[in-house]
Structure 1
Amino acid sequence: MANDFYEIHLVEPADPDKNVLVRSLTSHGVEGVYFNATGEPGYDCSVPKASLSGYRFDATHYFRGYSFQTTSPGQFLLSSLPALPRFIIWRDRLEQKRFNRRPLVREDRIDMLRFFLAKTIKNGSFRTTPIGLLEMLYSRRGFLHPERELVTNYYRLMLDSFVATGELLVENHSYRLSPHGVARLAEFELENKRFKESSRQQTLIGWLTIAIVAIGAVQAYVTYLTVP
């Protein structure tokens, strides 16, 4: 993509939906299109220099498929330097190449249930899709990874399996945690705790057995030395 253009808005701090799309600068101030709300038609307007301080500056530079947003005139002037966006794009592509060399580590079922529970605790209405999971687990770089389709299909199958067993519910192609999923995770954590406790006890018994054998061997050796 070879796009290269700017979009500058003057935003009313009290109501961000009210803003001026800047078209040109004049000796008296700014000319543009005023929007009273999102989705409403715009109206031609002028903003005098004396009133500019009452707006919040918001500019976006669209360049070669990337977008660079700035929130102050100083940042805008700095980002307008020709070499800066090219350097940022070069660095981003280099980091993407490094990211693509590493395989995408897949979460197992229990870790995925833990993930849904943690997100749902923070946001009771949390729900997501396989594509959404790809971004949340691997960042936006996951969309450009060679394994993206394979991993997306893996999570789609996993989420569908959770629906089949009742741990997740699906609504409008989005998945959310069900009460059964919380109960299932609690059961697993309890079983895992019991397993660890049992393993700890078995380890302790093993060490006690070794100690008893060692003590018996020492006693036998001492007896052997003391018998005439």
Structure 2
Amino acid sequence: MPVTQPSPDCSRYQTTRSQALRLFAERGFSRVSMRDLADYLGIRPGSLYNHIDSKEALLFELIEELYEQLLHGARQVQRCAATPAERLNGLLEAHLRLHASMGAYFRLAEYDGHCMASEQQAQIRALRARYTQQLVESVERVTGQPAGNNRRAALSGIVALLNQLPAWIEAPELSPTARHELLRDMVLSALRGALRGTQD
């Protein structure tokens, strides 16, 4: 069966997305003007809208893609995990490992989401809530107890920690494996502390 090649327009758009993502992550979304973006892409400002609908629409698309990937990873863990503990550990592992390929996406999601329109922010909050619910359900299965409001709030904070921690801890002296183990241990420690400190 012949392999379908992406259309030139599709390939051009994917290249535009990748370059824009790099620039947003390096400078911060709010510091990049449309002219800056056009210069970076090597095109005239007037032709930028032939490549993207708007800067905000592109930001939304990138952050949406991140949460779709997180949810996809959570579904895969749910199918493969044999025990509640394996599911919880697998969920944390999959989240941390996604930073290797989507680190710039995480930075946009955590620091530039407020630049989107209110409707777009609401859609991202809904995706994030769906993902947080995966963590809540995993913890409920491990503890055997339903999560009340306090515990849900604490677990929402753990999601924020998972999103931000790899960018905080560079640790160039560590091997990639050792760094990953450090990050995992820090998240598990924070999770244990959050569960001890919440009374529902």
TM-score with structure 1 setting the length = 0.24
| Greater helix fraction, Structure 1 or Structure 2 | 2
Larger radius of gyration: 1
Bigger relative contact order, structure 1 or 2, given CA contacts below 8 A and separation 6+?
A: 2
TM-score with structure 2 setting the length = 0.27
| Greater strand fraction, Structure 1 or Structure 2 | 1
